[in-house]
Amino acid sequence: MQTTKNIVTHWRAWLLLAATALAFGLIATAQSPDTNETGSAINPSAVPDSKDLQVGSISGKVSAGKGVSVVWVEAVPGMASPKPAKPFALSQKSLRFEPHILAVPVGATVDFQNNDSVQHNIFWPAINGNKKLGHTLGTYPRGQTRVYQFDTAGIVPLLCNVHPEMSAYVIVTPTPYMAQTDDSGSFKISDVPDGSYTLTAWHEGLKSQSKPVTVASDAKIDFTLAK
């Protein structure tokens, strides 16, 4: 009987120890920050790190005659387009808009400063042909500035109600990845995340053109625009 009692006591102690170990194991699993919803361990290398993001550039040439062309990367799902930290500027001077072409990313704010000795009334009849997006900044004298934030991507033709000979364009691009060409038509867009995109080229008075492009380090693409 003594032997049997010792065996029972031994098994009771073992079961208590096993239950305690199991309870601590369940608590640790529930509290561990390195497990997912199924309780499986998370591989740290599988978590994306912004420092590991690979970027490249897109360069090329737009053949479109005289004047500045604008080239930009179209938006893709998941691509972030942060609001620019600083405003852009487009002034009126000597009865002209300066610059004649201004490219800004969507969400950008533009300062329209009157540097002339006469009043101006800046307006745009539409954005990308949508007349509901037309807007006027009103009439204001020398030294004053009107500010506007462009929250819709598209082509914005600028006019002046007071001086019909004045015209310009604000090109609001859907992403911050854009560039204006130099005098030779060459352009370069830097720091574009690796991936596949659609690239669009625009020039005043000509038909825009879009082409697919894959960025893997550096990519090169050319455009020829016509009416």
d(CA 209, CA 201): 5
Higher pLDDT, 80 or 204: 204
User: How is the chain split into domains, by residue range?
Assistant: 2-45, 50-81+177-227, 83-173
Residue 122's pLDDT is 96
Question: Angle 194-195-201 (CA atoms, 0-180°, nearest 5)?
Answer: 100
Q: What average pLDDT score do residues 36-43 get? A: 34
Q: What average pLDDT score do residues 173-187 get? A: 96
pLDDT digits (tens, 9 = 90+) for 73-110: 999 888 777 888 899 999 999 999 999 999 999 999 99
The reply to whether 50-81+177-227 and 83-173 are identical in fold is yes
Q: Bridge partners of 121?
A: 139
Query: Structure tokens of 3?
Result: 């032997």
Residue 76's pLDDT is 87
Query: Structure tokens of 198?
Result: 């659609």
Residue 136 has pLDDT above 70, yes or no: yes
Rg (CA), the chain: 31
Residue 79's pLDDT is 78
Residue 198 has pLDDT above 50, yes or no: yes
Residue 34's pLDDT is 42
Residue 52's pLDDT is 61
Residue 45 has pLDDT above 80, yes or no: no
Protein fold of 50-81+177-227: Immunoglobulin-like (2.60.40)
List, in order, residues 6 or more apart from 116 with CB less than 8 Å away: 92, 93, 94, 95, 142
Residue 180 has pLDDT above 90, yes or no: yes
Q: How far is CA 79 from the centre of its chain?
A: 6
Q: Please tell me what DSSP assigns to residue 85.
A: S
d(CA 61, CA 86): 28
Q: What average pLDDT score do residues 158-174 get? A: 96
- Which of the four pLDDT bands, split at 50, 70 and 90, describes residue 1? very low
Residue 206's pLDDT is 98
Protein fold of 83-173: Immunoglobulin-like (2.60.40)
d(CA 112, CA 84): 17
Residue 80's pLDDT is 74
d(CA 186, CA 170): 20
Share of the chain above pLDDT 70, in %: 77
Mean residue pLDDT across the chain: 83
Q: Does the model's pTM come out above 0.85?
A: no
